[in-house]
Amino acid sequence: MSASLSARNISLEYAQPAGKRLPVLDRVTASVGSGEFVSLVGPSGCGKSSLLRILAGLKSPTHGSVAIDSQPITAPSPRIAIMFQDANLMPWRTVVQNVALPLEIAGISRNQREARARALLPRLGLAEFGESFPRELSGGMAQRAALGRVLIQEPDVLLLDEPFGALDALTRERISLDLLNLWHGTRPTILMVTHDIHEAVLLSDRVLVMSQRPGRLIAEVRVEIARPRAVANMYDATFVEYVRTVRTAIEHA
């Protein structure tokens, strides 16, 4: 299952003391096609995460609108899941219990939700860690569990806000490829915020580049590298040229 996602003329301002307004986003219009993997990059503080929260229905824009399959998004939707940088696993719960949490909230019986969680663990590389607690996991394992907690909801749209930013480079590469493999299986629509240009190019169909605050979309780079992809792609001349193109757009943002 997947769905199209769109933002139309999104602007966002925050109130400041003495009646001043802080502009964060400026007339952002963008779309992500059904089953597409798109990354959003740009300078720190340009509003990338704010845009993601608006698309998730967690924040209201000052102007403009967002939609899933042309239906307005005005509140959190069960069709849209979001994953943040911090795993935020509950320390008193096992991996299975953490992954199954959204199903528990949805009122699904314990046997059913834990069975679904256990069936998902092998795809996350956690088959042997179902009864482990977060303190017993590496950072990479914890992020896999957090990803499982999102995927078990079977969302049509998956929003990722720097999900692997706190990991070391090698672990980040490995989990990025794990994410690609999971995406190939079910093809949810994915929009990912990242500061890692190589990661954006490796994973994405398109890379969208935002300007300095107030954030505007200033460039779109379509990545025409055959799938499936691997770390070896990162050493190809074509890949390096895509990275250079995205980096140049950010430097001129």
Is 30 a member of any domain?
yes
**Predicted local distance difference test score (pLDDT) of residue 139:** 87
Peptide bond into 163 cis (omega under 30): no
Please give the Cα distance from 231 to 224 (Å, whole number): 16
Cα 240 → chain centroid: 23
Burial of 200 (0-12, 13-18, 19+ CB in 10 A): buried
Is 70 a member of any domain?
yes
**Predicted local distance difference test score (pLDDT) of residue 1:** 64
Please give the Cα distance from 50 to 190 (Å, whole number): 16
Is 183 a member of any domain?
yes
Mean pLDDT of the 87-102 span: 94
- At 160-171, the pLDDT tens digits run 998 887 778 888
16: CATH = 3.40.50.300
Is 95 a member of any domain?
no
Please give the Cα distance from 6 to 38 (Å, whole number): 12
Please give the Cα distance from 170 to 199 (Å, whole number): 12
Terminal Cα-to-Cα distance of the chain (whole angstroms)? 35
**180: containing domain:** 5-88+157-251
Nearest to 158 by CA among 187, 194, 120: 187
Q: What's the total number of domains in the chain?
A: 1
**Predicted local distance difference test score (pLDDT) of residue 95:** 96
* Maximal CA-CA distance, the chain: 57
- Would you state the torsion angle of the CA atoms of residues 96, 97, 101, 106, taken in this order, to the nearest 10 degrees? 90
Is 43 a member of any domain?
yes
Is 230 a member of any domain?
yes
Q: Say if residue 246's pLDDT is above 90.
A: yes
- At 30-78, the pLDDT tens digits run 999 999 999 999 999 999 999 999 999 999 999 999 999 999 999 999 8
What band does 174 get if pLDDT is binned at 50, 70 and 90?
Answer: confident
Six token digits for residue 190: 């994915």
Say what the pTM is.
Answer: 0.91
**Predicted local distance difference test score (pLDDT) of residue 156:** 94
Please give the Cα distance from 243 to 71 (Å, whole number): 34
